[in-house]
Amino acid sequence: MKERKQPYYLILIMPIFYVLLSFVTAKLVQNSGLYPSGVDTLAHLYRGDYLYQSIRNGNFWPFYDTLWYNGMEALRFQAPLASYVLALCQLVGGGSVMNGYLVFVAVIFVAGAASWMYVGFKVKRPFLGAFLGTLWFFMPNNLYTLFYEGNLPRSLCIVMLPLLMYWAHDFLKERHWHTIPKLSVCFAFAVLCQPSYAGLIFLAFILYFAAEAIVSREWAAGVRTAAALVLGVMLAGVWFVPSLARGGVSAADFEVLADFFQDIFLTVNPAARFQNGCVDFYFGLAALLLTVFGALLSKKKSLPGFWVGMIILVCTSNMSYHLLSHLPGGQALRMLRFLSIALCMVLFSFLIWDTLKKGWVILFAALLVLDALPSLPSVWGYQSGEEPQKILADYADWTLVDQAQEITEQRLAMVDESALNAMGAYLATGCGEPTAISYGAAGTACATASNFTQIERALEEGEYLYVFDRCLELGNDTVILRMDIVGSFISHPVKEMDRAASAVGYRLVNSNDNYRLYKYNSAGNWGTITKYPAAGIGSGTAQLSRQFPVVQELESGNLNDYSFEDLCDYELIYLNGFTYDDKPSAEALVTKLSEAGVRVVIAADGIPDDRGSQNQSFLGVVCNSVVFSQGYPDLETIDGVLETDLFPDGYREWDTVYVDGLHEIWGNVDNVDWQLPFYGTVKNENIIVIGLNLTYYYGLTEDEGVGQLLSHAMDISSEDLPKREIVPYEIEYTEDRMIIHVDKPGVNTGLGYYDSFEASQEIYSQNHLLHVGSGATVIFYSYPYLGLGILTSMAGTLLTAVYTWHTKRRMGKKTQEMG
């Protein structure tokens, strides 16, 4: 049979069509009255603009951003490719951030369409490839990613999916050696866009390779293709390796795994799009019908993609969450984020199903278009034509940010639990005169994210003294509080808030029904010298610190990281959730501190398990598990019999410990038949052990009797504040360094501390903040592990070349043998 000629005229016609349609789409977005919509959109636009402005000044790799998160490393922990693309789009848009965003939308449209068109020609289905290219941008889940999540780097990754899919399939089926470097380079780009999403792509492709192996009964090709993807990670090593070495920067992204599973009916129900709007992940009813149809009736060549799409869809259900969340590494399985990958596999399988009758092709194409229509309002919005500058100005007025910008001398704290998503940070730093802020929208890229999370938790709990005191520690002379997140259990929140602000030194400047603006009387740049009478070590100390601001949360939870000299000046040390490498050394430290007059309080529930067993013991005290329902029994204590309140809602089953081995018992769980000691001293009167998770219970309930009982161990008050001295300093920023002049030693600058700092004199981190000595301190911005990253990329390049050469040679030999 004579092979049909490819309609190469499409190569001329379709790109013109795609460009015109992308222009129309961008204009619709511009007039929507919504743009730039999306949870994280403004965060990415801020980074793109920051990079654009730096490049204009001749700095193509800016190290340090002074505006977000008390200073942060600009590109080390945030994948850079999307920022560079946005900077280029902004250049094309005439230097305007918003015009640059519209150009980016058009680029996403054209690049995704061109990918599908290329694949269509390669598999000799050009018309269907051109159709899928037109449809791909408008697939509901892709629109959700771009316009609701506002995840611009992931949208850039989604553009590459058809190419990755085709090249992987090509190598699996045809063994073309030249697809190896294409796969590696393309996957390297995905890593440089968003490594977490690249990881999901890799997992989905592993599943695809396994399905292909089951169908073809040949595993080697899948392994070789996976190796090409791994080489792509190595190619990106020049950035990826330094980003992995986080140097005290949190790797957690504060996302709840359960949020990435949903009712499968919602995932495929088009009617829900009309009821709820386009605010949910969506696979689509049409895609489901195509997937089931293909999984049951397609040929071997296209079967794996349909089945993997089906498996991924099933794994997004709430039912699957309970299984997958318990798997090793299950926290990474945010299954709803796999949907665009699954859709690409299904559509690619549809494209290569060349035996499917034309009538069925047209039917499914029509169904896919119909299924996309309910999501189109996310593109055209209200068509009100309202400018984003007007929208942002209204929000700046409503949130009091515009007034805060006028009076802020050093830094603004906007405590709102990201109620406005990335807009809150953008209002301060991207609108009007840029104002430094103790927040941002890139928590995994900064050292001080946990500091600010603590402040937000304290506001929610009504611990206002902690809120203002820690805002002062972070160097904020202005503070905006969002009233919506204030806990409802506070009787007079405004009165208590103003009292706490005054105690720390802030005064109320302005307020409305939703926000309150406070100002600290200061000028220029300043830091603090602080004396904390108490310190907490371990993961369980955060809550106690919020209740008692005099408790300093020390960075390391490992007792072996501290010497006697580090801790002996504190009056009280609280241990909860601590660890150790050397138990005898840790016990000796605690004992020495207690003998020197330091009170050491140990939460028994936070004592680590003994190595090699599940037993909890420390200083001869042994913990034993016990569970209470509804509430504690009567507690026999040194203050008499204590009857406590019931456990709070959500804590009806209280899994905790009592202790054996106390020297002097201050509390027992009393029963006719037995007694369970839970509170007392060990070794001497300065080491006190508290069981029953009593300090956590007090934090939840503020039970007066429990508070009085705990006062025997901790002679501190929730009204006490650490002693802070305000110290002015001068700071100068250049491209490669900062220079700080201060007259006193041990000054907390309020800036985040990073392992990339190389200083002319000693600097150190305390509570993730940079402390400097007196005089002039010159701090150079280095790039840690850059050499190792370069070597990794070089090794990846060499291995890719060798692997490609080896594959070419191997395939050549096979061809000769077959000939």
The β-bridge relationship of strands 412-415 and 478-482 is parallel
Instruction: Dump pLDDT digits (tens) for 407-426.
Output: 999 999 999 988 898 999 99
- Asked if pLDDT for residue 815 goes beyond 80, the answer is no
Take residue 625 and report the two structure tokens written for it: 């598990």
- Asked if pLDDT for residue 537 goes beyond 60, the answer is yes
Q: Give the mean pLDDT of 734-756.
A: 95
Is 621:659 a contact under the CB 8 Å cutoff? yes
If phi > 0 it is left, if psi is from -120 to 50 it is alpha, else beta; for residue 385 that is: left
Is 387:46 a contact under the CB 8 Å cutoff? no
Take residue 809 and report the two structure tokens written for it: 């040679």
Q: What is the pTM of this model?
A: 0.92
Closest CA relative to residue 110, chosen from 22, 200, 6: 22
Instruction: Dump pLDDT digits (tens) for 145-182.
Output: 999 999 999 999 999 999 999 999 999 988 889 999 99
Neighbour count for residue 622 (Cβ, 10 Å) = 16
Amino acid 448 reads T
Q: Give the mean pLDDT of 310-331.
A: 86
Instruction: Dump pLDDT digits (tens) for 263-306.
Output: 999 899 888 877 666 668 999 999 999 999 999 999 888 999 99
Q: What is the DSSP string of 769-797?
A: EEEE-SEEEEEEE--TTHHHHHHHHHHHH
- Asked if pLDDT for residue 249 goes beyond 90, the answer is no
Alpha helix segments (H runs only) across 236-376: 237-244, 264-268, 271-276, 285-297, 303-315, 318-324, 339-352, 358-372
- Asked if pLDDT for residue 223 goes beyond 90, the answer is yes
Closest CA relative to residue 53, chosen from 18, 93, 95: 95
The contacts of residue 640 (CB under 8 Å, 6+ apart) are none
Instruction: Dump pLDDT digits (tens) for 656-706.
Output: 999 999 999 999 987 756 789 999 999 999 999 999 999 888 888 888 888
Q: How far is CA 288 from CA 85, 158, 306, in A?
A: 34, 20, 10
- Taking the C-alpha atoms of residue 64 and residue 74, their distance in angstroms, rounded to an integer, is 5
- Asked if pLDDT for residue 343 goes beyond 80, the answer is yes
Q: Give the mean pLDDT of 380-403.
A: 93
- Taking the C-alpha atoms of residue 605 and residue 540, their distance in angstroms, rounded to an integer, is 9
Take residue 728 and report the two structure tokens written for it: 């002015």
The angle formed by the CA atoms of residues 347, 351 and 354, to the nearest 5 degrees, is 145
The contacts of residue 47 (CB under 8 Å, 6+ apart) are 74, 78, 83, 86, 442
Instruction: Dump pLDDT digits (tens) for 458-505.
Output: 998 889 999 999 999 999 999 999 998 886 556 678 999 999 999 999
| pLDDT confidence of residue 254 | 45
583-597, 668-682, 732-746: range with lowest mean pLDDT: 668-682
> What are the percentages of helix, strand and coil residues in the chain, rounded to 5?
50, 15, 30
The angle formed by the CA atoms of residues 649, 655 and 656, to the nearest 5 degrees, is 120
Closest CA relative to residue 382, chosen from 145, 24, 28, 26: 28
| pLDDT confidence of residue 252 | 47
- Asked if pLDDT for residue 2 goes beyond 60, the answer is no
When comparing pLDDT for 734 and 486, which is higher? Answer: 734
- Taking the C-alpha atoms of residue 684 and residue 705, their distance in angstroms, rounded to an integer, is 25
Is 171:183 a contact under the CB 8 Å cutoff? yes
